[in-house]
Structure 1
Amino acid sequence: MSVVTKLVLASNSPRRRQLLTDLGLKYEIRLREVEETYPAHLRRAEVAEYLAAHKAAAYAPDLAPHEVVLTADTIVCLEDDVLNKPADAAEATRMLTRLQGRAHDVFTGVCLLRGDGHRTVFSDQTRVHFRALSPAEIEFYVRNFSPLDKAGAYGAQDWVGMVGVTRLEGSYFNVMGLPVHRVWEELAKLRLVAV
C-alpha cells in the first residue's frame, strides 16, 4: 500500500474549505466542472454517495500515487424527494415553503479516492426540524442571502437556519456540507491525520 501524503479538496464550497481548515488540515484545491446528474432509481443516501464518487472519478486520471482527492455532495430529502440547489429565487422560495414546519433529512456523500485507485465512499445523515416560517421570512432570506448555492435552498449556518432550525438529530457539520467526524476517521486510516 502506498502512503498518501497529499490531500486534494475538489470542492468550491467555502464551508467545506473552512471545515477542513478548522480541522488543521493542509490541502490543495483543484476544481473541475462535473455534471451533477444521477440515475433516477437511486434514493436518498444513494444519490449523495453516487454524486461524490462520480465527481471523484473525474479527477482520477490526474492523481499522483501519493495523492488522495476528497469530493462531497450534500442533498436535502423531503421524504423521497431530492432537493438539490435551486435554479433561481422562485425555486428557492418553493423549496423553503415545502421545508418549513416539517422535518427533513440531509445526506452528505463523501468519496476519498487515492492515486493508486483505492476508493472509500460513505455518507452521513442528519434529521433537521424546521419551525413554521412566514412567507415574509422566506422572502427576506431568499432576497438577502445566498440560497442558490445550497442544497434545499438554505444553509444551517445562515439566517434562516438560525431562526428556523429548532432541532438536529445528527451532525451539524454534515448539514453544512461535510461530516467531519467521519472524514477524520477515514483520513486517519490513510495516515493523513494524527494527533
Structure 2
Amino acid sequence: MKSLILASQSPRRRELLEQVGLRFTVHPSTIEEQVEEEMTPEALVQELARQKAADVYSHYPEDIVLGADTLVAVDGEVLGKPRSEEEAAEMLHKLSGKTHQVHTGTAIISEQGETVFAETVHVTFYPLTESEIDTYIQSKEPEDKAGAYGIQGLGAVLVERIEGDYFSIVGLPVARVVRVLKKHGSG
C-alpha cells in the first residue's frame, strides 16, 4: 500500500491527521514559493499547497503526498503570520468586530494525478479591547499563526461565530481530505 506523506511541518495538521487515525510520515517542502501578485486568496492557497505537494512528490513518486496552506483575509487584505508583536496587534485590530475569511488550500498528488481545492470559512470576531489584544499577544499564541490567532487555542475566545468547516480554520479540512485520499488509493 502507498504511504501518505505530509508536506508540512505544521503541528496542527499532524494532530488533525492523527485525530482521524491516518498513518503518515512528515517531509516538509523546502521550495521557495512562487506566486503571482494578482492571485485571489483561494487561488493563492491552492497554488502554494500544490507547489509544496509537488516538491515532496518529486522525492516520493510511489506514494501519496498531501500539501496544504492557510491564510487569513479581511477587507481584501491577506494576513500572513505576524513577524512581530506589533504586527500581531495590527492584525488583531483589523479583525476586531469583523467577519474575515480563512482560506485553506489542499493538494493531494499521487500516481492517480493531482487533486487541488480550497475551503473558505467565514469567521466573525467579537470587538476586541486593547487589553484583550495585549493579553492574547503576551500568550505568544499568535506567533506562528496566519492572521495572528489560533481558533483551537486561546484564540477561541475571540471568535463570535464561524460559517464553514472548523477544521479548515485549524489548517486542514480533514473530512474532505480523507475522501480525496481514498480516491488516490489511501486507506
TM range (shorter): over 0.9
Whether the 8 Å contact between 2:70 and 2:146 is mirrored in structure 1 is: yes
Percentage of identical aligned residues: 39
Query: How far is 1:79 from its partner?
Result: 2.6
Structure 1 unaligned residues grouped into runs of 5+: none
Whether the 8 Å contact between 2:81 and 2:145 is mirrored in structure 1 is: yes
Query: How far is 1:37 from its partner?
Result: 4.8
Query: How far is 1:117 from its partner?
Result: 7.2
Aligned length: 187
Aligned to 1:159: 154
Query: In structure 2, what residue type is equivalent to 1:174?
Result: S
Cα distance in 2 between the residues matched to 1:69 and 1:47:
19
Q: Are 1:105 and 2:105 matched, yes or no?
A: no
1:113-152 paired onto structure 2 within 5 Å: 113-114=109-110, 116=111, 118-152=113-147
Aligned to 1:81: 77
Root-mean-square deviation over aligned CA pairs: 1.4
Cα distance in 2 between the residues matched to 1:113 and 1:187:
9
Query: How far is 1:188 from its partner?
Result: 1.6
Cα distance in 2 between the residues matched to 1:32 and 1:192:
21
Query: In structure 1, what residue type is equivalent to 2:72?
Result: V
Per-residue displacement from partner, 1:55-99 (whole Å, max 9, x unpaired)?
12222321132x011010001010321111111111111001100
Cα distance in 1 between the residues matched to 2:125 and 2:70:
18
Structure 2 length-normalised TM: 0.95
Aligned to 1:10: 7
1:20-31 paired onto structure 2 within 5 Å: 20-31=17-28
Q: Are 1:174 and 2:171 matched, yes or no?
A: no
Structure 1 length-normalised TM: 0.91
Aligned to 2:42: 45
Q: Are 1:187 and 2:181 matched, yes or no?
A: yes
Cα distance in 1 between the residues matched to 2:75 and 2:175:
25
Whether the 8 Å contact between 1:43 and 1:80 is mirrored in structure 2 is: no
Structure 2 unaligned residues grouped into runs of 5+: none
Per-residue displacement from partner, 1:30-51 (whole Å, max 9, x unpaired)?
1232334521010121111011
Quick one: which of 90, 96, 102 aligns to 2:92?
96
